[in-house]
Homo-oligomer: A and B are copies of this chain.
Amino acid sequence: MRFSKATNYALHTMLMLVDASTVKPVGVQQLAESQGVSPTYLSKILTRLVKAGMIESVSGVNGGYRLSRTKDDITFLDIIHAIEGTASLFECDFVHGTECSIQAVMKEAEEKMERHLQQTKLADLAQKQTQV
């Protein structure tokens, strides 16, 4: 029960991209180096963010990654969901009645956390965070 390192990398990368230009992309080489992670692995992670539509990639010389649209509405939850998936944190194979008290409690707790992550937008932290 821990957030993956991939999520950590994704969050840091996104913060860098928010502070970077929205036209000139940033190469994965640079993004990876500042986080101490291999470029190929980070690229694999970022591809998921591309597919989620929050960033876009540019191949070729001077290529890299940049934010796709208005950075203002990208939330922490968006990023986390793109990396970790959206499945419930508490899984149960059985279905004992439509109203299972345990699941209700766990799900509500999870939603409390997600609500906060959804309220916090990337733009809220931009510029506050300088370096990884």
Q: Name A residues whose Cβ lies closer than 8 Å to a Cβ of B.
A: 1-4, 7-8, 11-12, 15, 76, 84, 87, 89-92, 94, 96, 100-102, 105-106, 108-110, 112-117, 120, 125, 128-129, 131-132
Contact = CB atoms under 8 A, between A and B. Distances in A.
Contacts of A76: 105-106, 109
How many copies, total?
A: 2
A116 B120 contact: no
A101 B128 contact: yes
B102 A113 contact: no
B102 A125 contact: yes
Contacts of A112: 112-113, 115-116
Contacts of A120: 105, 109
